Structure 1
Amino acid sequence: MAEAKAPPRAADRPLSPHLQIYRLTWTMAMSVIHRLTGIALYGGTLLLAYWLIALAAGADAFATAQWVFGSFLGRVVLFGYTWALLHHLFGGLRHFVWDLGYGFDLNARMNLARANLIASGILTVVVWAIGLSVG
Structure 2
Amino acid sequence: MSAVPPKYQGLRSFAFGDGPELADALLDLVIKGVKTATCSTEDEPNTSTPGERWIVLDGRGEPACVIETTEVSYCRFGDVDAAFAHEEGEGDRSLAYWRDAHRRYFGRQGKFSEDMMLMCERFRLVEVFADHRVAS
Give the TM-score category using the shorter length.
under 0.3
Larger Rg: 1
Structure with more relative contact order (C-alpha pairs < 8 Å, separation 6 or more): 2
| Structure with greater strand share of residues | 2
The TM-score with structure 2 as length reference comes to 0.23
